[in-house]
Chains A and B, each alone.
Chain A
Amino acid sequence: MTLGAYLHANAVDIAYFAGQHILLFLLSLAAAAAIGLALGIAVVRLRLAANIAVPIVNVLQACPEIVLLAISIPLLGIGFKGALIPLLVKGVLPILRNTSSGIAGVDPRIVEAARGLGLPPARILFRVELPAALPIIISGVRIAAVMLISVLTLTAYIGVDSLGTLIVRGIARMDPHPLLVGSLLTAALAIAVNYALVAAERVAARHLA
């Protein structure tokens, strides 16, 4: 069978897996962004949170995603539920880290000036600090996004439908067609998302300047 014939015969399947991959990616990125931003702000504002979070983040950072996936099976079972731990850990960490370092890196004179104008702390956070930290935060979102696409391919091993399913099938049957289609599509997705967010980062940085 040629690659063209394979594509023709499996177009519906491939479209389903691609759609599923993109859907789960968007959902997990949205969740990771919300949690990462909130925790990042907490780490900057509360010394206690920083003291607890920083060592945990450092350990989890070094934890390979397949290990996170494997050890969450006994805890949460298989299927999308079992993928939640690696998806959240690998998605939240880069956003948390960049949010806190981005806010900490905002020029203190700007914050001082805003305070001098009598702005309440919440307004300072949303109108001054977060916009100034935006390029760095978007950079964290970009790292998380690429990571999440990679983790989602691996979740095929615990029964989540994604483009990884094609790769897993290809490896199991030693069939180059699903291997090529699955690998190239996930690679293309990751590269496209990466470039889109690099562009967003530039726009945010230019806007700031």
Chain B
Amino acid sequence: MNLLSFFAYNWERIIDLTLGHVVLSLCSVGIALVAGLPLGVLCHCCRPLAALILGLTSIIYTIPTLALFGLMIPLLGIGIVPAIVAVVLYSLLPIVQNTYAGLAAVQPDIREAATGLGMGFGAKLLRVEVPLALPVVFAGIRVAVVNAVGMATLASLIGAGGLGDLIFRGISTVSWPFVIFGSLPVLALALLADLGLKAVEQRLALRTATS
């Protein structure tokens, strides 16, 4: 079957799987943000905890992705929940690390000026430190999203759908249209996320620098 007729027969399914892929990636990064941003702030406020939290998240990040999905099956079974848990775990490091690094890079004299203005701990964090750290935090979010799009491909192996369905079907049946129409949308999503978020990041950095 040639590529064109494959697409004509399967375009609805390809779009469905692409949407599922996007939802899986974004949900996971969303959950990772909700967990990771406070963890990054915690690392910043409490240095002894920083070594522990960063150490743990970097160990998780070191585990090969297939192994992480493999470990999910005995622990949580198959389906969408273990897939999201795996991607969330993997997304934590870039978010926590960049939040921590961004906050740590705020200049001490700015921090002192905020204290001098009578700002309390919370006001200083939310109105001075977090806005200044934003470009670095955003760079971490970009890395997390690009990783998640790639990793969500493997979610298909534990029955969570996504474009991996097409890719792995193509590999096991030696059918190139499946491989190609599975790979191209993943590639497009990854590049789109990378370039789009990079543009936002540059705009944020520019605004931080001029304000």
A residues bordering B, Cβ < 8 Å?
58-59, 61-67, 70-71, 73-74, 146, 149-150, 153-154, 156-158, 164, 167, 170-171, 174, 176, 179-180, 182-184, 186-187, 190-191, 194
Contacts and interface: CB of A to CB of B under 8 A. Distances in A.
B10 interface: no
Interface string B158-194: 1000001001101100001001101100110011011
In this complex, the interface size class of chain B, counting residues with CB under 8 Å from chain A, is 35 or more
A70 B158 CA distance: 18
Interface of B: 59, 62-68, 70-71, 73-74, 146, 149-151, 153-154, 157-158, 164, 167-168, 170-171, 176, 179-180, 182-183, 186-187, 190-191, 193-194
6 contacts: A66-B167, A70-B179, A153-B66, A171-B158, A179-B74, A191-B62
Contacts of A67: 150, 153, 167, 183, 186-187, 190
A194 B62 contact: yes
Majority secondary structure, A binding face: helix
Given A64-B149, A70-B182, A183-B70, A158 B157 contact: no
B59, B67, B154, B157: most-surrounded residue (chain A CB, <10 A): B67
Contact of A70 (B63, B73, B146, B171): B171
B104 to A, nearest CB: 19
Contacts of A170: 70, 73
A180 B71 contact: yes
Contacts of B150: 63-67
B67 A187 contact: yes
Nearest to A62: B194
A58, A187, A194: most-surrounded residue (chain B CB, <10 A): A187
